[in-house]
C-alpha cells in the first residue's frame, strides 16, 4: 500500500465461531480489514473460508463472536448487511440467469433506492428520476467492467469470465465499503486472471476495501496487502504475502507433513538399497538408451 | 417421388414442375372456395344448415376462409405485386399450412356429416368438391421447394425472413388497427358459435390453429410483435377499444355473459401472474381470494340474504371493501408462510383454499357463526348503480342496445385495464425487478440487499387484492355467491387449478398470456359441450401436449423464450445456475 496514514478498520470480525451440530466449521476467527486494503483469505479445501464469508454476510448466524462494520455490529440478516455496506459475490456464480445484464446490476441498486410499490404504480416525477439515476449508475458500472455493449443480453448467455465480472458489477452497484470476493478467478485462464487482478486493483482505487478468497497463490500474493490462512476452521497465520508464503505451517497445510510413523533414515536407506539391486538391470538398459539418444541429439 | 438421391432444396416432396405445383394450389383453393357456395348435405339436421346453394353457412364459412387463405398464399408463390408482405421469405411452410387448414376443415366437415347423418350418402357434391379440391391444393403445396428434409422443417418458421419494409407511422398504426379488427372478428365468431354446434366450433379451432400457424411461419406474428413494441400505447388502447366494441357487435346476452366471465377469470389470472409468474411463488389456493372479495361485496351489497342486509355500500366502497378483505387474508396467509421456501407455501396455500371453502360452507349459524348463509350462499344480490346508471337494465347507446351483461362487461373491462396497468407498472420497477430476482435466485437476491420476506409479502398481498377486486364485480354479475366454485380443482371455472393453468398455458410473466389462456380455457369447455364428463381429461391431455412442445406457454415472455429454446451463444456454464438446496445450508456457496 502507498500512503495509509491512519488505517481505519472497515470490517472487524472477532471470535467468529460457526458450528453445525458437532462440526465446528469456523473456530474463533479474528480478522480485520482496513479501509483501502486488499486482504486475501487462503486455505485448503474445506478450511471454512466460504462458511466464514457466509457468517460475515449474514447468510449464517455465527454461533459465537461478532462482526462489525465501521464500528457498528452487523445484524445477522443478509439484506441488512448489504445495506450496511458489505457486498459479496459467490463461489459458484449466482446471477439472475433470466434477467438482462443491465437488470442484474439494477437489482444490485436495490438498497440504495427507496421507491416502493405505490410510487411504481403512480409513476410520479420522483420515481422517473430515481429510475433514470439508477440506470445511469448501472451503465457506468457496466462500462467500468467493460460490459456496457452487452447491457441487453440475458446474463445466462454471457461467457463464463463475463459472468464473473457481472457478478462483481452487481455487487458494486450496492455502493459497498467492503467487497467480498469468493474465488473470483476460479476456472479462468491466466489472461483472464490478470484482467481480474487489474479489476480488483481498480475497485480498491475507488476506495472500496476488498476481502478475497482464492486458491490461485500467484494471484493472491500479487494482489493482497495482507493474507490470512485458514486451516480446519482456525486462522493459522496472518501477515504480508512474504510472511505467509514463507510460513512452514501454511506449506504443511497445503502439501501435508510427514505423519508420526513415517519411515526413518535407516528404513529409507534399506528400501533404496533393495530398489537399487532389484532394478539394476532395467536401469542399465535405460541408461544405455538415454546415452544413445543423447548422442543422437548431439550429432 | 423417384429421384430422392440428389435431394436439392429446390425439389419438392412431390416431383412436379414448379409452375404446375403453383397452378394446382390455386386450382385447389378456388375449388374449395367454390364448393362452399354449394350444398354439402341434403338435410338441415347437420348444425349450421349446409343445404343452401349460394350462401355459405357454418363450416362452409370456415372452409371459405381457409380456401381464401390458401389462395392468397398461392398467389405469393407467383410473386404477385402487393402480396409480398404476406409471405416475406417466399417460404413453402405457410403455403403448406394454409392448404392443410383447408384440408382439415373440408375433411373434418365431410367426415362429421357422414358420421352424424349415418353414411356417405348424406354428402352432397359440394362436400366432395371441397374434400378433393382442398386435397389437390395440399398436393400442389407439397410439390413446392422443400424447406428441409424432415417433417419438422415444414412446421417451423424459416430463419431467413427479411426485415419488414419501413412504413410511415400512420401506416403502422393502420396495420395494428386492421389486425386488431381481424382478431375481434375471429374472437366474436368463436364466441358466437352455437354451443350445440360443436362440429362448427371444432372446425373453427382447426382453422384458427392451422391458419395462425401459417401466419406464424410466414413471420407475420414477429412483425406484428415488432410493430406493437414500437407503438405500445397505441396497440394496447386498440386492444381495449376492440374489447369495448365486443358487447356492441355481440347482442346475445348469453355470449355477453361469457365475455364478462372470461374477463373476470382473465383478471384474476393476471393477479395470480404477479405471484406465480413474476415472483415465482406457487399459490395453489388463489381462488380463495376471489371468493373473499366476492363474499365481502355480497355482504355489503344490501342483499336480504346477507348478514348485514340493511347495509348497502356504494360500489366504490364495496370494491375497496372486497380488496381490503382479500388483502387482509393475503397478509394473514402470507406472513407465516412466505418465510418458507416454495414447496411449503404451495401446500399451505392449497390448505388455505380448502379451509376458506369449508369455513364459508359452515358459517350458516348452526355449525358455525352466522355469516355466510352456508351452502345456500348469498343470493339476490342487487344490480349495481353507479351515478344513477343501473347495470341491471338495458340501455340504448348510439342506436345499440346494451343489455345487463354488456354493462357489466364494460365495467369489468375497465377493471381489467386497471389491473393490466398495475401489472405493467409494478413489473417494470424496482419492486418488480426484486420479484424476478427472487424467482431467479432467492439467496443471491437477499445478498443484493432485497428483503425477501417483505417483497414476497407485497407480491402476495397485491395479487390477493387484485383477485378480491375482480371478485366484487363477479358477485354482482352472477346475482349470488356460494362456496361451491371456490375449490382447488373442478370442471367449472374459476378454481385454483384452472387459474394456474391459464397462467402457465398462456405464458408466465406476460400480460397477454394469462388473458389468452383464461379465454381459451373458459371458451373451450363451453363450446365443446359434447365432451361432457371427459372435459377434465381433455384439459389434462391438452396441458401435457402444450408443456411438451411449448413449455414457455402460448405467448412467451422474451426471457422465458430464451430459457427454453436456447439460440446461439451456447458457451454457458451450467454451474452458474441456481441450485436450490434445502436444509441447513442457506447458501449453496
Domain ranges of chain B: 18-153+197-221, 263-524
pLDDT above 50 (res B1): no
Q: What's the confidence (pLDDT) of residue B162?
A: 77
Q: Which of A56-65, A288-297, B7-16, B557-566 has the lowest mean pLDDT?
A: A288-297
pLDDT above 70 (res A53): yes
Q: Checking phi first, is residue B515 left (phi over 0); if not, alpha (psi -120 to 50) or beta?
A: alpha
User: What CATH number was assigned to the domain covering residues B263-524?
Assistant: 1.10.3470
A45 at the B interface (CB within 8 A)?
A: no
Domain covering B18-153+197-221, topology: de novo design (two linked rop proteins) (1.20.1440)
pLDDT above 50 (res B3): no
Residues B345, B347, B353, B357, Cα dihedral to 10°: -150
**How far, in Å, CA of A81 to CA of A65, rounded?**
16
A108 at the B interface (CB within 8 A)?
A: yes
Q: Is B233 exposed, middle or buried (0-12, 13-18, 19+ CB in 10 A)?
A: exposed
Which residue of chain B has the CA closest to A162? B572
CB B341 within 8 A of CB B582: yes
Q: ipTM of the assembly?
A: 0.83
CB B260 within 8 A of CB B409: yes
Fold identical between B18-153+197-221 and B263-524?
no
Q: What's the confidence (pLDDT) of residue B343?
A: 81
**How far, in Å, CA of A28 to CA of B39, rounded?**
92
Q: What's the confidence (pLDDT) of residue A279?
A: 63
**How far, in Å, CA of A267 to CA of B217, rounded?**
80
Across-strand partners of A210?
A38, A179
Mean pLDDT of chain B: 82
Q: What's the confidence (pLDDT) of residue A280?
A: 59
Q: What's the confidence (pLDDT) of residue A1?
A: 45
User: b/e map of A41-61 (b: 16 or more CB within 10 Å)?
Assistant: bbbbeebbbbbbbbbbbbbbe
Q: Is B370 helix (H, G, I), strand (E, B) or coil?
A: strand
**B-contacting residues of A 183-212, CB under 8 Å?**
187
Q: What's the confidence (pLDDT) of residue B560?
A: 54
Which set of grid coordinates corresponds to residue B475? 358477485
pLDDT above 60 (res A216): yes
Q: What's the confidence (pLDDT) of residue A176?
A: 93
pLDDT tens profile B142-156: 888 878 777 878 888
Name the residue among A94, A98, A160 with its Cβ closest to that of B563: A98
The pLDDT confidence band at residue B273, using thresholds 50, 70 and 90, is very high
CB A156 within 8 A of CB A116: no
Q: In terms of pLDDT, which residue wins out, A119 or A272?
A: A119
B578 at the A interface (CB within 8 A)?
A: yes
- Helix runs in A147-258, H state only: 160-172, 190-205, 217-223, 241-246, 248-255
pLDDT above 70 (res B577): no
B275 at the A interface (CB within 8 A)?
A: no
**How far, in Å, CA of B247 to CA of B568, rounded?**
46
CA distance B566 to chain A (A): 9
Q: Domains along chain A?
A: 8-85+176-257 (3.40.50.300), 95-173 (no CATH)
Q: What's the confidence (pLDDT) of residue A261?
A: 64
**How far, in Å, CA of A236 to CA of A249, rounded?**
8
Which residue of chain A has the CA closest to B427? A120
**How far, in Å, CA of A61 to CA of A18, rounded?**
8
Q: What's the confidence (pLDDT) of residue B583?
A: 35
A69 at the B interface (CB within 8 A)?
A: no
Quote the percentage of chain B above a pLDDT of 70. 92
pLDDT tens profile B27-76: 889 998 888 888 888 777 777 777 777 777 888 888 889 999 988 888 88
What count of CB pairs under 8 Å joins A to B? 154
β-pairing verdict for A72-73 and A64-69:
antiparallel
**How far, in Å, CA of A231 to CA of B93, rounded?**
65
CB B481 within 8 A of CB B375: no
Q: What is the DSSP string of B295-337?
A: HHHHHTTT-TTSTTTT----HHHHHHHHHHHHHHHHHHHHHHH
Chain B interface disruption, residue of A92, A101, A123, A175, most B CBs within 10 A: A92
Q: In whole angstroms, what separates CA B388 from the centre of its chain? A: 35
The pLDDT confidence band at residue A6, using thresholds 50, 70 and 90, is low
CB A121 within 8 A of CB B425: yes
Q: What's the confidence (pLDDT) of residue B5?
A: 40
pLDDT above 60 (res A285): no
Q: Is A209 helix (H, G, I), strand (E, B) or coil?
A: strand
pLDDT tens profile B249-262: 877 788 888 889 99
Name the residue among B434, B446, B575 with its Cβ closest to that of A78: B446
Q: Is B94 helix (H, G, I), strand (E, B) or coil?
A: helix
pLDDT above 50 (res B284): yes
pLDDT above 70 (res B558): no
pLDDT above 70 (res B475): yes
Over range B339-353, report the average pLDDT.
Answer: 84
B2 at the A interface (CB within 8 A)?
A: no
**How far, in Å, CA of B132 to CA of B122, rounded?**
17
Over range B385-389, report the average pLDDT.
Answer: 78
Q: Which of A133-137, B67-71, B273-277, B482-486 has the lowest mean pLDDT?
A: B482-486
Amino acid at each position: 500500500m502507498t500512503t495509509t496514514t491512519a488505517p481505519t478498520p472497515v470490517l472487524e470480525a472477532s471470535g467468529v465461531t460457526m458450528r453445525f451440530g458437532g462440526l465446528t466449521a469456523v473456530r474463533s476467527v479474528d480478522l480485520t480489514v482496513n479501509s483501502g486494503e486488499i486482504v486475501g483469505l487462503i486455505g485448503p479445501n474445506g478450511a471454512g473460508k466460504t462458511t466464514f464469508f457466509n457468517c460475515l454476510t449474514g447468510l449464517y448466524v455465527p454461533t459465537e463472536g461478532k462482526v462489525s462494520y465501521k464500528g457498528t455490529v452487523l445484524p445477522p440478516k443478509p439484506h441488512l448487511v448489504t445495506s450496511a455496506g458489505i457486498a459479496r459475490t459467490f463461489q459458484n456464480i449466482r446471477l439472475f440467469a433470466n434477467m438482462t445484464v443491465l437488470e442484474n446490476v439494477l437489482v444490485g441498486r436495490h438498497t440504495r433506492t427507496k421507491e416502493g410499490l405505490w410510487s411504481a404504480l403512480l409513476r410520479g416525477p420522483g420515481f422517473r428520476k430515481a429510475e433514470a439515476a439508477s440506470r445511469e449508475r448501472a451503465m457506468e458500472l457496466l462500462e467500468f467492467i467493460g460490459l456496457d455493449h452487452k447491457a441487453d443480453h440475458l446474463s445466462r448467455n454471457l461467457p463464463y469470465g463475463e459472468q464473473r465480472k457481472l457478478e462483481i458489477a452487481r455487487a458494486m452497484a450496492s455502493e459497498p465499503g467492503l467487497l467480498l470476493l469468493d474465488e473470483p478467478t476460479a476456472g479462468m485462464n491466466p489472461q483472464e486472471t490478470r484482467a481480474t487482478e487489474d479489476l480488483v486493483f481498480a475497485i480498491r482505487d475507488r476506495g472500496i476495501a476488498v476481502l478475497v478468497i482464492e486458491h490461485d497463490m500467484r494471484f493472491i500474493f500479487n494482489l493482497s496487502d495482507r493474507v490470512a490462512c485458514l486451516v480446519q476452521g482456525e486462522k493459522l497465520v496472518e501477515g504480508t504475502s512474504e510472511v505467509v508464503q514463507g510460513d512452514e505451517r501454511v506449506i504443511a497445510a497445503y502439501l501435508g507433513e510427514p505423519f508420526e510413523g513415517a519411515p526413518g533414515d535407516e528404513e529409507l536407506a534399506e528400501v533404496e538399497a533393495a530398489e537399487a539391486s532389484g532394478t539394476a538391470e532395467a536401469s542399465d538398459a535405460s541408461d544405455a538408451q538415454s546415452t544413445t539418444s543423447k548422442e543422437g541429439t548431439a550429432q | 417421388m423417384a429421384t430422392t438421391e440428389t435431394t436439392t432444396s429446390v425439389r419438392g416432396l412431390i416431383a412436379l414442375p414448379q409452375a404446375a405445383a403453383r397452378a394446382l394450389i390455386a386450382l385447389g383453393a378456388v375449388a374449395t372456395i367454390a364448393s362452399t357456395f354449394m350444398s354439402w348435405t341434403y338435410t338441415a339436421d347437420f348444425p349450421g344448415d349446409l343445404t343452401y346453394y349460394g350462401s355459405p353457412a357454418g363450416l362452409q364459412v370456415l372452409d371459405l376462409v381457409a380456401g381464401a387463405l390458401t389462395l392468397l398464399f398461392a398467389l405469393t408463390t407467383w410473386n404477385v405485386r402487393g402480396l409480398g408482405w404476406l409471405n416475406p421469405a417466399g417460404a413453402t411452410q405457410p403455403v403448406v399450412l394454409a392448404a392443410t387448414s383447408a384440408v382439415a376443415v373440408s375433411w373434418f366437415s365431410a367426415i362429421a356429416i357422414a358420421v352424424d347423418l349415418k353414411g356417405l350418402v348424406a354428402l352432397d357434391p359440394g362436400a366432395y368438391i371441397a374434400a378433393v379440391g382442398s386435397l389437390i391444393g395440399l398436393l400442389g403445396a407439397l410439390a413446392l421447394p422443400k424447406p428441409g428434409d424432415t417433417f419438422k422443417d415444414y412446421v417451423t418458421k424459416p430463419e431467413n425472413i427479411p426485415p419488414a419494409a419501413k412504413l410511415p407511422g400512420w401506416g403502422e398504426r393502420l396495420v395494428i388497427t386492421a389486425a386488431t379488427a381481424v382478431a375481434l372478428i375471429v374472437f366474436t365468431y368463436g364466441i358466437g358459435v352455437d354451443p350445440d354446434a360443436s362440429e362448427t366450433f371444432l372446425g373453427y379451432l382447426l382453422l384458427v390453429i392451422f391458419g395462425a400457424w401459417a401466419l406464424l411461419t410466414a413471420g407475420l406474428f414477429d412483425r406484428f410483435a415488432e410493430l406493437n413494441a414500437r407503438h405500445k400505447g397505441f396497440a394496447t388502447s386498440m386492444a381495449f377499444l376492440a374489447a369495448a366494441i365486443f358487447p356492441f357487435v355481440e347482442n346475445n346476452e348469453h355470449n355477453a355473459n361469457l365475455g364478462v366471465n372470461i374477463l373476470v377469470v382473465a383478471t384474476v389470472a393476471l393477479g395470480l401472474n404477479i405471484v406465480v409468474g413474476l415472483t415465482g411463488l406457487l399459490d395453489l389456493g388463489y381462488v380463495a381470494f376471489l371468493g373473499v372479495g366476492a363474499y365481502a361485496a355480497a355482504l355489503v351489497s344490501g342483499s336480504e340474504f346477507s348478514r348485514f342486509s340493511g347495509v348497502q355500500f356504494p360500489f366504490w366502497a364495496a370494491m375497496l371493501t372486497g380488496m381490503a378483505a382479500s388483502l387482509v387474508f393475503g397478509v394473514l396467509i402470507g406472513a407465516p408462510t412466505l418465510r418458507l421456501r416454495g414447496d411449503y407455501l404451495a401446500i399451505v396455500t392449497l390448505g388455505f383454499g380448502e379451509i376458506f371453502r369449508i369455513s364459508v360452507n359452515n358459517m350458516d349459524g348452526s355449525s358455525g357463526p352466522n355469516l355466510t348463509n352456508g351452502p345456500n350462499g348469498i343470493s339476490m344480490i342487487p344490480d349495481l348503480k353507479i351515478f344513477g346508471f343501473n347495470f341491471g337494465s338495458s340501455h340504448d347507446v348510439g342506436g345499440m342496445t346494451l343489455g345487463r351483461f354488456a354493462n357489466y362487461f364494460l365495467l369489468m373491462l375497465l377493471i381489467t385495464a386497471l389491473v393490466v396497468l398495475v401489472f405493467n407498472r409494478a413489473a417494470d420497477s424496482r419492486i418488480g425487478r426484486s420479484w424476478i430476482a427472487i424467482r431467479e435466485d432467492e439467496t443471491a437476491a437477499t445478498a443484493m440487499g432485497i428483503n425477501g420476506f417483505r417483497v414476497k409479502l407485497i407480491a402476495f398481498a397485491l395479487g390477493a387484492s387484485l383477485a378480491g377486486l375482480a371478485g366484487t364485480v363477479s358477485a354482482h354479475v352472477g346475482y349470488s355467491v356460494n362456496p361451491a366454485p371456490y375449490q382447488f380443482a373442478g370442471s367449472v371455472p374459476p378454481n385454483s387449478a384452472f387459474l394456474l393453468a391459464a397462467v402457465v398455458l398462456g405464458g408466465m410473466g406476460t400480460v397477454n398470456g394469462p388473458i389468452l389462456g383464461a379465454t381459451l380455457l373458459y371458451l373451450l369447455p363451453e363450446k365443446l359441450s359434447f365432451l361432457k364428463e371427459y372435459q377434465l381429461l381433455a384439459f389434462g391431455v391438452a396441458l401435457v401436449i402444450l408443456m411438451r412442445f411449448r413449455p414457455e406457454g402460448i405467448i412467451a415472455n422474451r426471457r422465458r423464450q430464451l430459457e427454453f429454446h436456447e439460440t446461439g451463444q451456447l458457451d454457458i456454464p451450467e454451474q452458474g445456475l441456481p441450485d436450490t438446496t434445502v436444509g441447513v445450508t442457506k447458501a449453496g456457496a
